[in-house]
Every structure is written in structure tokens, then in C-alpha cells.
Amino acid sequence: MIQTSPLSSGILDSVSATDSMIELRGLVKRFSNAAGEFTVLKGIDLTINRGQFVSIVGKSGSGKSTLLNMITGIDHPTEGQVIVNGTDIYDGINESTRSKWRGKNLGIVFQFFQLLPMLTLLENVMLPMDYVNMYDFDERPQRAMELLKLVGLEKFANKLPVLVSTGQQQLAAIARAMACDPPLLIADEPTGNLDTKSADTIIQLFELFVSQGKTIVMVTHDPSLTSRTHRNIIISDGELINETISRSLPQLRHRHMLEFTKLAETKIYQPRETILSRDEHVDYFFMIRSGEVEVVLQDKNKETIISKLGKDEFFGEMELLRGGKAIANVRAGNKPVELVLLPRADFTRVMNESPITAEAVSKIVQKRLEAQKMLDPRENHQSENMVSIRRKNKSAATRPSK
């Protein structure tokens, strides 16, 4: 990673040779008040690559606003590093340099639109260009107009903000955020104040920016928006949740996800390496972080691949929930596979505490068993056994905790 020295002249136009747009390393933020010390961010490590569209989700008080304030250089970390677009933004940079850096590298959009009421939409969009002195003076109105066109507001360019709808105000705020063509757009609940249709327009616009190579980090509460991003990062109690866990078991409560994050271990298997053998005791719940696994049934010398599971899928749940041995072989596919493993006892305990997740898992189990039944080359009575397993399994999975 190329890190620009704070003393070099290129600090404002820093270019990183790597793919990462944002890198947070060991980020800690503590606040002190009369009641004592409070740690809001507890050692965050995060890399966001260029061109990614990332959503950040977290309950109120989880630390997500503080996290954004670290990325935008608005607040200072207690410990750790923040590298954005190749610049270590807290290392030897004073406030006014950071402010200039921000103007060139970041576009920021907030829930409330912060358009200046006495300026027209066009003037509002020109403002950042004036402020960081980018683009020729005569070129600015034309560029602002192009941005307004892009967001569909060219007709209203000369109107004051109060005369357009709130959705249009937010579109103008987005045009303004893009005025200096920043590589990174940070949006804090950008659709929080808007109706569904306006929100959709804004997400479409974000998708367009991403297709043009921009990186977007968006804090949102809205699940219909997170599903449209490349990555959804969940923050809970000042810590990031393992993304494989949140994608594999999305119905889990954040506190359970966080608990799993702390308990999970990562393991890599080489191509064709056996992960589980039939009739072997299963001690883990497996989630696939990358690569593919094959579920194989062996009958004498013949083997049948009954399914292939990929990224964010899981296995081992049937065995754990019914408390038995592996019912098939599982092995790595033709590439190395990276797995996230959870100990059996923790998995079953949380399933008991989280009926919604248990239900969802058991639905997947049912589907797999049906697929397995159809493909199973063995005797019919084996299939009947499977059905009984399924029944047992379902009742185990949905039984409420005691």
C-alpha cells in the first residue's frame, strides 16, 4: 500500500495503487463524560474496495454514526488508522488540510439536505467547486447543470430549494455531493426522509455512480436498500459482524450474530479435501465464506454429487439439529474453500433462542432433503428414513427454548 507522506505535496491528490478505497485498522473510539469512559468503537478492522456499493446497518447507539465520522475525517479516533483513498487522514494532517482533502475526495449526503435556502439549486451545486476551487470559474455553471441533468432537475436549476419537493431537494444535494467528482460518496440515511418512489430514484442514481467506478458507503435502516448493495456491514455494540455469518443467517438478532462472530473460527480446505465423512460425528456448523463444497453420496464404488453449495450457504445443520452423524460426505470443490465454523453447542443454543432463524434453517433443510431424496441412488427405505429425519428435524428446529 502506498501511503502518502503528510509532508509530500501530493497529499490532496493522493492516489493509491491498491484496490482499497477505505481501510480501517484497529479503530478504537472512546468518549469520556461525567459518567465515565465509554467505548463506542472497539477495534474495527475493515477494508472497502474501490467500486463497491456498501451499506452499513446498526441499531441506534451501535456506533455507526461514529464510524462514518471516522471515515469522513469529522471525528478523531482514539486509536488506530483510517486510510481513505490512499491517505492516512489522521496522521500529521491539520484540520484545514483535512477539510480541503475532504472537499476533493468525499461527497457527503445526509438525511436532511442542507441545501442553502437562499441559493438556487444550480448555485447550491456550484458551491463545493467554489469552495475547493476546482474547475475553471466559467466552467462551473455548466458542470453544475450537467449534474442537475443527471439527477433530472435541469428544469428546476434556477429555483430555490423551498419550491421543489423533498425528494428533489435530496437529488440536488446528491448532485452537489458529486460536484467535485469525488471517488467516494458517503451517505447517511439518504432516503430516511423520503417516500418509496423517491428513495428508489436515489438508489438507482447510486447504482449508476457505482457502475461508473465510484465507491459508495451508505448508512440505512431500510432492508430493501441493503439488498441492492454489494456488501452489507452490520455494526453491533461497537464491533463489526462477520459478513459470512450475517449473510448465511440473516434472520439472527444482531447480538447473536456478534456472539457468533466472536466464537467463529475460519478454516481453509484444499480442493477435494474431505470436510465431513458420512457417519462421522459433526461438531460444527459450517458457513462458506468463499469457494464451493460438494455433498456426495457414495454407494459401493459409485458416487453421486447430490448438491453443490457456494458462498454464504451452510451445511452441518441437519446433523446438529437432529443430534446425529453426517448423512453424506462433504468435500471441497475443485478450488480451495474457506469456511467459517461454529461449535455445535453454541449453534444449537442460539437456534433454541431464535425461533425465526431455526424456522428458516429448517426450511432449507427440508428443501435439501427433498433434493437429496430425488437424487439418492440407494434403496427406497433409505429415502423413507430421510423423511422421518426431516420430521424430527423440523420439530427440533422449531421447538421453542425452555
Partner 1 sequence: MTILELRNVNKTYSTAAGDFVALKNVNLKVQAGEFLGVVGKSGAGKSTLLNMINGVDTLTSGNVFVKNISVHDMTEDQRAQWRGKTMGVVYQSFQLLPMLTLIENITLPMDLAENFKPRESKERAMELLKMVELEEHANKLPAFISGGQQQRVAIARALANDPEILVADEPTGSLDSVTADIIFDLFSKLVYEKNKTIIMVTHDMSLTGKFSRSLTMQDGELIEAELEPAFDKTMMRRRK
Alpha carbon distance 243, 234 (integer Å): 8
Which single residue is written with the C-alpha cell 467506478?
213
102 belongs to the binding site for partner 1 (CB under 8 A): yes
CB of 162: closest distance to partner 1 in angstroms? 6
Q: Which CB, 76 or 272, lies closer to partner 1?
A: 76
How is the beta sheet containing 274-276 ordered, strand by strand?
A: 274-276, 329-332, 293-299, 302-309
Q: Which CB, 119 or 263, lies closer to partner 1?
A: 119
The binder of partner 1 chosen from 2, 32, 94, 117 (CB under 8 A): 117
Q: Which CB, 109 or 340, lies closer to partner 1?
A: 109
The binder of partner 1 chosen from 39, 78, 81, 99 (CB under 8 A): 99
The binder of partner 1 chosen from 12, 28, 119, 364 (CB under 8 A): 119
Q: What is the largest CA-CA distance in the chain?
A: 82
116 belongs to the binding site for partner 1 (CB under 8 A): yes
Q: Which CB, 110 or 347, lies closer to partner 1?
A: 110
Distance of CA 245 to the CA centre of its chain: 11
Which amino acid type is present at position 25?
R
74 belongs to the binding site for partner 1 (CB under 8 A): yes
175 belongs to the binding site for partner 1 (CB under 8 A): no
Alpha carbon distance 46, 257 (integer Å): 17
Secondary structure (3-state) at 363: helix
The binder of partner 1 chosen from 160, 296, 305, 360 (CB under 8 A): 160
Alpha carbon distance 117, 108 (integer Å): 18
Q: Which residue, 171, 174, 177, 141, is CA-closest to 153?
A: 171
CB of 150: closest distance to partner 1 in angstroms? 21
134 belongs to the binding site for partner 1 (CB under 8 A): no
**Cβ 72 vs Cβ 186: under 8 Å:** yes
**Cβ 243 vs Cβ 231: under 8 Å:** yes
Q: Which residue, 62, 96, 68, 94, is CA-closest to 82?
A: 68
| DSSP for residue 325 | B
Any idea of the CA torsion for 73, 136, 171, 228, to the nearest 10 degrees?
-60
CB of 147: closest distance to partner 1 in angstroms? 17
Q: Where are the beta strands (DSSP E) in 221-313?
A: 231-236, 239-240, 265-269, 274-276, 284-290, 293-299, 302-309
137 belongs to the binding site for partner 1 (CB under 8 A): no
163 belongs to the binding site for partner 1 (CB under 8 A): yes
CB of 47: closest distance to partner 1 in angstroms? 24
115 belongs to the binding site for partner 1 (CB under 8 A): yes
156 belongs to the binding site for partner 1 (CB under 8 A): no
Q: Is 15 exposed, middle or buried (0-12, 13-18, 19+ CB in 10 A)?
A: exposed
CB of 225: closest distance to partner 1 in angstroms? 21
CB of 77: closest distance to partner 1 in angstroms? 15
181 belongs to the binding site for partner 1 (CB under 8 A): no
CB of 312: closest distance to partner 1 in angstroms? 35
Per CB under 8 A, residues contacting partner 1 are: 69, 72, 74-75, 95, 99, 102-103, 106, 108, 110, 112-120, 127, 131, 158, 160, 162-163
